[in-house]
Structure 1
């Protein structure tokens, strides 16, 4: 049986998601909710804490509880990387017409603000091990920030690394002013003869740091989703590493796995296909 606070959270969540309580609207006072649900103040606060951790409400000390203004959501699907690879071969005009962020959010390019900061730094032991290079090897560190116009918080916080000497084969890849690059990283790599064979994503979640709370504009109770994306070329070499952090209340990772059919064969006694269930 669900705990009392779960039932309260479910009811209030439904009111928010169906629009009975709209963005920015003040939720009924605690005293009123305690009487309405017939529970203790502690039980009610557990329910509110659950909704706050989901990013549905914000509690302002001494003022009240409010439905959080709707935030732009991001949905990354399993065919994203193949979509990016296919676009490498398209003309520049087509590549420039839409980017991966627009695909993940459904927004238009004019709805977004992009920024990129490039710096050089020596590879840490961690990154050196992933790239298979010596610690201290010069890396190109690229910080990409994308915001929806009018919103303070970025859609995500991402840092991408390339081995500097590899990227320098095309000097244009070293210039942040060339961002956003039509076709993204996969097209950038293609200009120096690199084709990706596979991408490995390592995904986890954790509580946010103090800096992430401020930068991503999230409440302390909202977890962040963390992904290390490792891009590997057709020679089995790691060519790019990205560390991405998303607010847990705005990201959806959607995975679809296509399964191969069983080979056709004649059924034999004892086979599943020959068994009768009744």
Structure 2
């Protein structure tokens, strides 16, 4: 296992959301040149090992309420793990949820073998006519579960940062919820708030 100082650091800047939106409608070849992980790490696509798993599930009450849909509505759960090829642990553990009915018009979005999707979720949503208006991110921290500590190869005593990312479309609908578990021993969160000039 690499030492902490040998781990690739990640700087997650909230400006990444506009960067992703600006690229959502770009040609596939342009989108394939880099993604959010490359943006956050400075690595290249060839440096990364990516894994995705999809499954459908009935929305439990907390997720149903967050999406504003009835409990039991079919969701597509997507689990992502991306790591630097020279390291053994992913940068984060991501579980993303979409309402299946919202994306069913494009069957390619239901197939995990189409991942990694050039341009990420915003580009996927664009294929079914959904444009994001805003992304809300809530952060908390806690002690990792044994599985999280193992999967993220955390240093002893290192906490995890939990990020709940909720994406709203231009009609104020929640269209994506992602729960991201980040290793606090190698993740920096950077928030830059741009203010319009008077």
Place the TM-score, normalised by the shorter chain, in its bin: over 0.9
Measured against aligned partners, the alpha-carbon deviations of 1:66-118 in whole angstroms (never above 9, x if no partner) come to x6451111111121100000001211110111111001000011110011000
- Give the structure 2 partner of residue 165 of structure 1: 101
Q: Which has the higher helix share?
A: 1
The residue number in structure 2 matching 1:184 is: 120
Residue among 50, 75, 85 paired with 2:21: 85
Write out aligned runs for 1:118-137 (5 A).
118-137=54-73
2:164 corresponds in structure 1 to 228
2:83 to 138, 147, 172: 147
Which stretches of structure 1, 4 residues or longer, exceed 6 Å deviation after superposition?
A: none
Of residues 26, 34, 57, the one that matches 1:98 is 34
Q: Determine helix, strand or coil for the equivalent of 1:128.
A: helix
Question: For 2:118, what is the secondary structure of its paired residue?
Answer: coil
Task: For residues 137-180 of structure 1, give each alpha carbon's deviation from its aligned partner in whole angstroms, at most 9, with x where no partner exists.
Answer: 11000001101102111110000000011121110100000000
In the other structure, the counterpart of 1:249 is: 185
Larger radius of gyration: 1
Instruction: Please name the residue that 1:19 is paired with.
Output: none
Question: CA-atom RMSD, angstroms?
Answer: 1.3
Greater share of residues in strand: 2
Secondary structure of the 1:136 match is coil
* Contact 1:223-1:248 within 8 A present in 2 as well: yes
Does 2:111 align with 1:175?
yes
- Rounded to whole Å, the distance in 2 between the matches of 1:234 and 1:109 is 31
In 2, are the aligned partners of 1:197 and 1:232 still within 8 Å (CA)? yes
Distance in 2, Cα, partners of 1:117 & 1:205:
25
Displacement of 1:209 in angstroms is: 0.7
Count of aligned pairs: 197
- How far the C-alpha of 1:234 sits from its partner, in A, is 0.5
Report whether the alignment pairs 1:212 with 2:120.
no
- Tell me how far apart the structure 1 counterparts of residues 136 and 149 of structure 2 sit (CA, whole Å): 27
In structure 2, stretches of 5+ residues that fail to align are none
Deviations 1:173-200 (A, max 9, x none): 0000000001100000000000000000
Structure 1 CA distance, aligned partners of 2:192 and 2:134?
17
Q: Quote the offset at 1:260 in angstroms.
A: 4.4
